[in-house]
Structure 1
Amino acid sequence: MKWSGRFEGYTYPMLRRDLVAGLIVGVVAIPLGMAFAIASGVKPQFGIYTIIVAGILISLLGGSKFQIGGPTGAFVPILFGIVIQYGYEKLLIAGLLAGIILVLMGILKLGVLIRYIPRPVTIGFTSGIAVIIFSGQIGNFLGLSNLQRHEDFLSNMNEIGMHLSTLNVWSVVTALISLGVLLIMPRISTKVPGSLIGLIISSIAATLWFSGNVATIGSTYGVIPSTLPSLAIPPISFDTIKELLPPAFIIAMLGGIESLLSAVVADGMSGSRHNSNKELIGQGIANIVTPLFGGIPATGAIARTATNIKNGAVSPISGIVHGVVVLLILLLFAPFASAIPLASMAPILMVVAWNMSERREFAHILKTRTTDSLVLVITFLLTVFTDLTTAVEVGLILAILLFVKRMSNVLTVAKVLPDPSLKHEKVGAYMVKDDHDCPQLSIFTIEGPLFFGAASLFEKSIMEALPSRPAMLLLRMGKVPFLDSTGESNLASIVQHFKQSGGLVLISGIQSQPAAYLKRTGLSEQIGDGHFFEHTGGAIDYAVGKMDPAKCLGCKHFAFRECAALSNPAAVGKANEQ
């Protein structure tokens, strides 16, 4: 039997593979969902609700066949900051607003723009998030009591230092058991989720040997209910929207980046191809609906998506199954989850932080000692010591400014003349000398984008290189790939300057984008359609024909092959007689 519609050609053998992959990923997702929720400052069950609702919707509506959605480590610092500053209810509203932003981004086909966020910025804030997640679990690992959670890194570190005397040996032992299993399991079997086994073994050990001596989910957050919460719309006002729009935008941007990165990883592993705009719409709808059931913001989870593919998934059904599996476990085994020690979960998040730290990529970019290194370090430090919003904003602005600076340095403007010893008399800057430079025609080669960051250098370079006022100016623009309004304005200024003195501007080899831009602005008409040439040779021949013969008489510069004849009075006189 086959299915129709989106799953046309889907068979029962494929369903079996999806069921196995979905079951394994669902089991993997449970401890991570609870751990991310706790790290975000909310109750663990909210992480489970997110896996169920968002996980099913992202698989059902997203643009990637293998994407597994849910709470992720990338969201931890921003969500914790919102909870501390605004409270849990407003976190739900921020998540809902982020969902609307993601849907709008998908509808407006902005998925492609997220790819243009510079790598040093993403590595910087990802590494910073890893530090925050890792440091945030030190208290649970050591079993410290009476810790107050703060929004900033330094205050949290100070809090840990002040409460080291409350260290709980039993919590440390529990955490070490969990960590040991996490590190050993990949060597024994890659198919069995080490996080779940570590959680189970360390929880059993704590229950049998030192029950009541370590903090558990139940003792800290209360018993996890074995049902989904009923549908509830959070109270939204215009003032609330205005207040939460900045954090909602960061959630949307971060969710978009994370989900599309995960989709790209899935494409590489499976040979499939995702639809980035559909993925954003699916993520958006999931984040609109999930808060209505008490869930926190969700996005594509790279590690769980990779696990899904490795275990044989063939369609989005595996992601739907993963959500259903978590729902069944919630309904049947929720009371047992309340007995899990917080110390058992701490190593899981620490390992997640270690794996997401991008340490090799971080070190690689640092070694380059370029402006990318500066962007990386500043984004990383701002993520750790201020907040993610500031880090991303400053990182992006700095990256843009440095990019503009680099691109302005790429532009070169050189005065050139033909070299008769070369084939086709190719031009070169080395041919221009004090005694070898045509007084009537100046030729310049422009290489690089003519945009706002470099346009003033273009105009200045040309005007300063014209000590005399030649009658004609030839601009070789074959290596100018891009022209913007600032570049066009500076070019127009040069054209106007030459026109006022009765001069002429010629252009050769112009590319399609600059040519089309000059037509739209009308500057090509001012220059004159007959003054655009495909090749420099044609432009030079035209210019030589326009030269004033009287000024050529006796000239000893011999810049062009015709100069010898033009400077000879007898030759000129004979030409005039004819």
Structure 2
Amino acid sequence: MLNFFRSRTATAKDDLLSGLTVALALVPEAIAFAFVAGVSPIIGLYSAFFIGLITAAFGGRPGMISGATGAMAVVVVGLVATQGIEYLFPTVVLCGLIQIAIGTARLGKLIRLVPHPVMLGFVNGLAIVIFMAQFGSFQTLDRASGHLTLLSGMPLVVMLVLVAITMGIIWLLPKLTKAVPSSLAAILTVTLLSVGINHTMTSDSGSGENVVATVGDMLNTQAKAKAIAASRAKAEEIANDETKPLDVSTVGITSDGKNRVDSVNAVTAAANAEAALADGEGEATASISGGLPRLFFLDYKLPPMNFETLWIIFPFAITLAGVGLIESLMTLTLIDEITETRGRGNRECIGQGAANVVCGLFGGMGGCAMIGQSLINVNSGGRGRLSGITAAVCLLMFILFLSPWIEQIPMAALVGVMFMVVIGTFEWASLKMFHRMPTSDVAVMVLVAGYTVVMHDLATAVILGVIVSAVVFAWKHAANLGADISINEAGGKIYQLHGPLFFASVSSFKDLFDPANDPDDVVIDFYYTRVYDQSGLEAINTLAEKYESLGKRLHLTHLSAECRSLLDRAGDFVEVNLSEDPQYHVATDRLG
């Protein structure tokens, strides 16, 4: 990664200013993910507040930012669509309880199993995903078709110029002063420019539309696009339902001589007309303004608390818990590497779980660590818990008091900040390492990055990468088992093994021996090897039976404590003659 994430000592001023910067960037993210989940924007904002506050205060990684995320939203959208939003909140609570149980069981250490090529693929894929996600900010709602289309003409030119100005400020300002986070300075500067541009160009054109899209514009565009999509889906459902007659009076057509295709077109045209009418006045259709959050059962009907409900929500809760923890622990590892400090994975699991429990109780959609916002925080100087707490509290203040001001922030400024995060996140050195890395590691890195980009599923990409890495490791070490063969003074044959004995090397282990032609006494020396699993034990047992059937004696020497423990626990499944070894403690030091 480029050195945008400079080493700094934590200060209260840096934490406060970086927290404010992160809060500004959290608003459009939380809104966008709420639309993905099929819930209202205010639910996404409340979720970001609760998750961000509790994990910052009690989690295991100071400086890491958590909130409502796309990974969690993708999981719950199916539940909301099929069962209703009332089932979402108990699911989030159950997800939190599962995460607390995982942290209490100290399973957070499993993140150590993630190999470096997987981490490289994760980071590079993430950078590409963040980059691609920003193109949604270059879209606007086309009145004629009701679809989102890319900007063009003057709005596109102005957007690109402001993005470039934002990136330039973030790059150049630290060379002059570090008194103010460069990201915050860039957002404030470009916001002032956009206000002036919108005031001047809107007044000149008389159209009433902003030339520079703001957070408020994005919120309204997303809300209208969602309403249009829902209206069309309902219209098509009605038109295609052969069991129900069309209410032709609502679409302005008569029943005589009209086939169903014409009816579909008419209903769709009515939906388009309704959408265009809603967009015609240019009035705000959504806002980030709201009151204090309330317990969900005060505003929503509580689903029946029975086994049937548990059967519905449990699969979603398990998936949410797994996705949330994997993404959070991967983010923790990344921030550890950047800041050269070490977070506490198990504590982070418990903190994330507690945050989701509270979030669910107050009607939130759940969440986990947000990698992009965490990198913004680190880049802006945020290192302590105060930065995350500040971000969450500022977000709540935006909702309660400052929504009109926050909605004036241009999307160009936030896009520019995220573009700089992309540049700093991508592991550019990995492009030069291709010819020096093992082919298998390159393949794993590309696989993880590709799956992340195509499927937008970071958790599954990591799991897939770990599995492939484990298979490659086992395949490579399957051929590493060998033996040095010698004859002792009594005429016995000694096999001194080298390499691991486990399921993948069992075949190589069996090929080393020649029971039919070996002498009556055979010794297998495990000084340089280790038995790892039941497959290895069974291979030893099978070999012992072959020698016993031929009237020959098999001895095992220099077994480590772990190996002997496995043999002891195997009980009657493995019966071999363990030779007394006066130098056994040497083997324990080597292999234990």
TM-score calculated relative to the size of structure 1: 0.72
- The answer to whether 1:29 aligns with 2:37 is no
Tell me the residue number matched to 1:76. Answer: 70
Counterpart of 1:208 (choices 199, 202, 213) is 199
Gaps of 5+ in 2: 1-9, 203-208, 224-285, 304-308, 585-592
- Partners of 2:480 and 2:499 within 8 A in 1: yes
Say whether residues 1:474 and 2:523 are aligned partners.
yes
Match of 1:107 in 2: 104
Indicate yes or no: 2:468 matched with 1:398: yes
CA distance in 2, matches of 1:146, 1:110: 52
**Is it true that 1:54 corresponds to 2:74 in the alignment?**
no
Q: 1:231 to 1:331 in 2, by over 3 A?
A: same
DSSP 3-state at the match of 1:192: coil
| Counterpart for residue 230 of structure 1 | 294
Q: 1:121 is matched with which residue?
A: 118
Could you tell me how far apart the structure 1 residues matched to 2:114 and 2:145 are? 35
Q: Which residue type is aligned with residue 216 of structure 1?
A: T
C-alpha change, 1:168 and 1:366, in structure 2 (3 Å) is farther
Query: Displacement, 1:108?
Result: 1.0
Q: Which residue type is aligned with residue 258 of structure 1?
A: M
Q: Aligned-pair distance for 1:526?
A: 4.1
- Picking from 167, 183, 186, the partner of 1:195 is 183
In structure 1, what residue type is equivalent to 2:66?
G
Larger radius of gyration: 1
Counterpart among 500, 505, 514 of residue 449 in structure 1: 500
CA distance in 2, matches of 1:520, 1:496: 19
Aligned equivalents of 1:353, 1:38: Cα separation in 2: 21
- Give % identity: 22
8 Å contact kept, 1:103–1:280: yes
Shift, 1:117, TM fit: 1.8
1:484 matched to 2:533:
yes
Structure-2 separation of matches of 1:512 and 1:146: 75
- Partner of 1:454, secondary structure, is helix
Q: Whole-Å Cα distance in 1 between the matches of residues 154 and 46 of structure 2?
A: 33
Determine whether 1:520 maps to 2:569.
yes
Find the partner of 1:377 among 415, 432, 446: 446
Q: Kindly state the Cα deviation for residue 395 of structure 1 after the two structures are TM-superposed.
A: 2.6
Residue 256 in 1 paired to residue 328 in 2? yes
Query: CA separation in 2, counterparts of 1:387 and 1:94?
Result: 22
Q: Tell me the CA shift for residue 491 of structure 1.
A: 0.7
Contact 2:522 2:554 in 1 (8 A): yes
Separation of aligned partners in 2, 1:525 and 1:124: 43
- Secondary structure in 2 matching 1:498: helix
User: Deviation of residue 84 (structure 1)?
Assistant: 7.7
Letter in 1 for 2:99: L
Once the 2 structures are TM-superposed, how far is the Cα of residue 170 of structure 1 from its aligned partner? 1.6
Which residue in the other structure is 1:167 paired with? 152
Amino acid at match of 2:132: S
Task: Tell me the SS of whatever aligns to 2:358.
Answer: helix
The farther-off stretch of 219-228 and 499-508 is 219-228
CA distance in 2, matches of 1:92, 1:147: 38
Distance 1:342 1:263 in 2: 26
Q: Distance in 1 between matches of 2:65 and 2:396?
A: 15
Report if aligned partners of 2:33, 2:70 keep a CA contact under 8 Å in 1. Answer: yes
- Letter paired with 1:108: A
Question: TM-score, normalising length from structure 2?
Answer: 0.70
Quick check: 1:142–1:168 contact (8 Å CA) kept in 2? no
| SS at structure 1 position matched to 2:494 | strand
Give the whole-Å Cα distance in 2 for the aligned partners of 1:398 and 1:384. 18
State the shift of 1:205 in Å: 4.0
Say which SS state the counterpart of residue 501 (structure 2) adopts: coil
**Distance verdict in 2 for CA 1:283–1:312, change over 3 Å:** closer
Report the RMSD for the aligned CA atoms in angstroms.
Answer: 3.8
Cα 1:461/1:441, change in 2 over 3 Å: same
Find the partner of 2:550 among 471, 487, 501.
Answer: 501
**Alignment partners' CA distance in 2, 1:478 and 1:147:** 78
Q: Does the CA-based 8 Å contact 1:39-1:136 persist in structure 2?
A: no
Read off the aligned partner of 1:76 and give its amino acid letter: G
In 2, the alpha carbon distance for the partners of 1:81 and 1:210 equals 42
SS in 1 for 2:287: coil
Q: Verify the 8 A CA contact 1:59 1:68 in the aligned structure 2.
A: yes
Indicate how the Cα distance of structure 1 residues 367 and 204 shifts in structure 2: closer, same or farther if over 3 A, else same: farther
Q: Partner residue of 1:183?
A: 168
Q: Secondary structure at the match of 1:67?
A: coil
Paired residues in the alignment total 480
CA offset digits 1:65-122 (Å, max 9, x no partner): x2333238xx435635754885594776665444333212101110111121223233
Name the counterpart of 1:240: 312
State whether residues 50 and 298 of structure 1, in contact with CA within 8 Å, keep that contact through their aligned partners in structure 2.
no
Q: Which amino acid aligns with 1:252?
A: G
* Alignment-derived partner of residue 217 in structure 1: 215
C-alpha distance 52-379 of structure 1, shift in aligned 2 (>3 A): same
Q: Which amino acid aligns with 1:443?
A: I
Question: Counterpart of 2:262?
Answer: none
SS at match of 1:453: helix
Structure 1 residue 188 displacement after superposition: 1.6
For residues 177 and 324 of structure 1, what CA distance do their matches in structure 2 show? 28
- In structure 2, the CA distance between the partners of 1:98 and 1:265, relative to structure 1 (3 Å rule), is farther
Identify which of structures 1 and 2 has the higher relative contact order when contacts are C-alpha pairs closer than 8 Å and 6+ apart: 2
Secondary structure (helix, strand or coil) at the match of 2:500 reads coil
| Secondary structure of the structure 1 residue equivalent to 2:409 | coil
Is the 1:63–1:282 contact (alpha carbons within 8 Å) kept by the matching residues of 2?
yes
2:437 counterpart (368, 378, 390): 368
Change in CA separation of 1:329 and 1:335 when aligned onto 2, cut-off 3 Å: same
Check 1:135–1:259 CA distance in 2 against 1; reply closer, same or farther (3 A cut). closer
The CA distance in 2 between the partners of 1:276 and 1:324, in whole Å, is: 24
**Cα distance change on mapping 1:354 and 1:79 into 2, 3 Å:** farther
Q: CA–CA distance in 2 between the matches of 1:317 and 1:216?
A: 28
Contact 1:216–1:342 under 8 Å retained in 2: yes
CA contact (8 A) 1:508 1:533 kept: no
Q: Is the 8 A contact 1:216 1:338 kept in 2?
A: yes
- The answer to whether the 8 A contact 2:127-2:426 is kept is yes
Structure 1: which amino acid aligns with 2:106? K
Task: Return 5+ residue gaps in structure 1 as ranges.
Answer: 1-16, 150-158, 419-437, 536-578
Partner SS state of residue 289, structure 1: helix
Give 1:333's aligned residue: 402
Secondary structure in structure 1 of the residue aligned to 2:109 = helix
Q: Secondary structure at the match of 1:462?
A: coil
Give the 3-state SS of the residue equivalent to 2:52 in structure 1.
Answer: helix
Equivalent residues of 1:123, 1:362 under 8 A apart? no
1:486 CA drift (Å): 0.9
1:244 CA displacement: 1.9
Find the counterpart in structure 2 of residue 426 from structure 1: none
